[in-house]
Amino acid sequence: MIQFDSTHAFLKEDITSYQDQVTKIHEALLAKEGKGNDFLGWVEWPNQYDKEEFERILKVAEKVKDKAEVLLVCGIGGSYLGARAAIEMIQGLYSQNKTEVIFIGNTFSSTYFKQVEAYIQNKSVILNVISKSGTTTETAMAFRMLKQIMENKYGKEECKTRIIATTDKSRGTLKDLATKEGYETFVIPDDIGGRYSVTTAVGLLPLAIMGIDIKAIMDGGIQAYNDLANPDLKTNAAYQYAVARRILQNQGKDAEMLVTYEPQMTMVGEWWKQLFGESEGKDGLGVLPCSATFSTDLHSLGQFVQDGKKVLFETLLLVEHPTMDGLFPHDEENMDNMNYLENKSLDWVNKMACKGTLEAHEVTGNVPNIILTLPDMKEFSFGYMCYFFFRACAITCYLIDINPFNQPGVEVYKKNMFKLLGKN
């Protein structure tokens, strides 16, 4: 499903020389041992996800779908990025979906909030608030304001059918509030951290409301689980990628740029940055994850990649079959001199741009390139890709003895902020 290609990566070590280390990590992962092992629920999730809850997600989504002119998804970090990445990847940026999704609760920007408030004023709204802890300030602040706006508009009773909370199964402020108000609630499992949670209710409920085939997403995860069952570095593409990253960092490449040629994959880049950045960037270690969308960013960051300081490697996340395609037209006058492309498919042009850029960055720019190729941008591929990156991320972190499942660094800004905000 995902092909790994390191032939453009200038690896100075043999990937298979890491086999013993990787096999040990793989076994520990499956045995639920190692750092952060109380957050390994995602490992078996494709096989062991809660089927009853899954059915309830489908049912509730079906019920609210027709009411939802706008679906507000209120959450941040792992409670936000996966759903957004999936919706954009699968439906594209200008889909004909009659439900529009707006993500909120991921910023303190007053302008952002007030603009959304004005925008939804005359629209029928469904609100899914998502927070595992239930106390994240960005989300809690936005939720209180949205709750009041909706109660004023619909009344408390109607809000019971329009507000859905996804949170811890039994504790926390949001759980208590949802129970008191009589909202439908969905569970974020105890042993699955935010950034590993897109295939739990965190991602699945908004996706189902948006009309996405969530069963196919789960099937993709199962396929990835099966394909990655063997830690053999000759065949396990996720583990090959995990090791290649380590080798490249050993060669002095401290930054990785995930590159897509599809604008609808830009948010996958954001999701991937969170997964790797929050998992790996600690103890003064880790590769800095950044992302770019080409050709757009070839006219900006492309200059740095080609010609700037040699600190980074690229990981091309390519897509074999685009969701849509068309032919470039003939023009009788050819004033723009573009007839040389007539009858060429638009995707072919994109792929040639990719080929030319790869050669420029690799041969002239001396920038290592890892290539990961996805078959398409459909649900199954999304589910597969998420599980692929979960595994790769865990293995690559454990290779430098890092706990992939905590985020102690994130607490520092919160402490300072709370002091300034006067929180006791």
Binding residues (CB under 6 A) for ligand PA5: these are 76-79, 131-133, 136, 139, 193-195, 278, 407
Among residues 15 and 127, whose Cβ is nearest to ligand PA5? 127
The minimum distance between CB 200 and ligand PA5, in angstroms, equals 11
The minimum distance between CB 395 and ligand PA5, in angstroms, equals 18
Among residues 130 and 395, whose Cβ is nearest to ligand PA5? 130
The minimum distance between CB 43 and ligand PA5, in angstroms, equals 16
Rounded Cα–Cα distance for residues 301 and 308 (Å): 9
Reduced to 3 states (helix: H, G, I; strand: E, B; else coil), residue 104 is strand
**Annotated catalytic residue, options 256, 262, 278, 314:** 278
Nearest alpha-carbon partner for 15 in 257, 223, 231, 258: 231
The minimum distance between CB 391 and ligand PA5, in angstroms, equals 17
Q: Is the peptide bond before 295 cis (omega within 30 degrees of 0)?
A: yes
The minimum distance between CB 411 and ligand PA5, in angstroms, equals 10
Question: What is residue 386's DSSP assignment?
Answer: H
Give the contacts of 123 (CB within 8 A, at least 6 positions apart): 69, 70
**35: annotated active-site residue:** no
**8: annotated active-site residue:** no
Residue number, nearest CB to ligand PA5: 194
Rounded Cα–Cα distance for residues 252 and 399 (Å): 16
Among residues 139 and 249, whose Cβ is nearest to ligand PA5? 139
Among residues 79 and 291, whose Cβ is nearest to ligand PA5? 79
Phi, psi dihedrals of residue 417, rounded to the nearest 5°: -65, -45
Among residues 120 and 140, whose Cβ is nearest to ligand PA5? 140
Give the contacts of 72 (CB within 8 A, at least 6 positions apart): 101, 102, 104, 116, 120, 125, 126, 127, 128, 146
**278: annotated active-site residue:** yes
Phi, psi dihedrals of residue 370, rounded to the nearest 5°: -95, 140
Rounded Cα–Cα distance for residues 165 and 187 (Å): 9
Tokens of 154: 């619909």
Among residues 22 and 130, whose Cβ is nearest to ligand PA5? 130
**Annotated catalytic residue, options 51, 180, 234, 299:** 299
Rounded Cα–Cα distance for residues 58 and 421 (Å): 40
Give how far Cα 315 sits from Cα of 29, 128, 217, 233, 250, Å. 25, 33, 23, 18, 16
The minimum distance between CB 186 and ligand PA5, in angstroms, equals 13
Longest distance between any two alpha carbons in the chain, whole Å: 72
**Annotated catalytic residue, options 59, 123, 414, 415:** 414
Enzyme catalytic residues? 278, 299, 414
